[in-house]
Structure 1
């Protein structure tokens, strides 16, 4: 089962409204994605906390339709 980039963006933005998201389909199967997520919500948080915020936004989709996610998070400069 694959997941479209628009759906990944929708889920992340639902949980992190100010998120800027850059997605790349790593192998062309829409199951393995790389995402860079930038949000002011990440200011003052550790990388682990930042990733947990994104994982929470993705919910049950991660590990299901979204098989793998290479995640990079950052606060705006």
Structure 2
């Protein structure tokens, strides 16, 4: 598994999302995902939305994924 594939899966599963994914060992990754659909959702719900885009890759080909999830407004405030 590689960061680009994960990015594509997240963005395909959350249309309109922008994802940045890093990781260099093939199993541990970190991602920043910006998506309007996160508005009004708690962090756990946001993470579940991202995990759902990766399906059975989580816990298999992707051993660990550290997430930072933000709405566009939250991302712009930084």
TM range (shorter): 0.7 to 0.9
TM-score when scaled to structure 1? 0.88
Partner of 1:14: 12
TM-score when scaled to structure 2? 0.87
**Superposed structure 1 runs of 4+ greater than 6 Å apart:** none
Q: Deviations over 1:3-51 (max 9, x none)?
A: 11121012111210111111121xx212110101010010111111111
- Name the Cα RMSD after superposition: 0.9
What is the total number of aligned residue pairs between the two structures?
73
Give ranges in structure 2 of 5+ residues lacking alignment: 74-78
Q: 1:62 aligns with which of 51, 58, 71?
A: 58
- In the alignment, the residues of structure 1 paired with residue 21 and residue 63 of structure 2 have an alpha-carbon distance, to the nearest angstrom, of 14
Partner of 2:39: 43
> What is the CA-CA distance between 1:60 and the residue it aligns to?
0.4
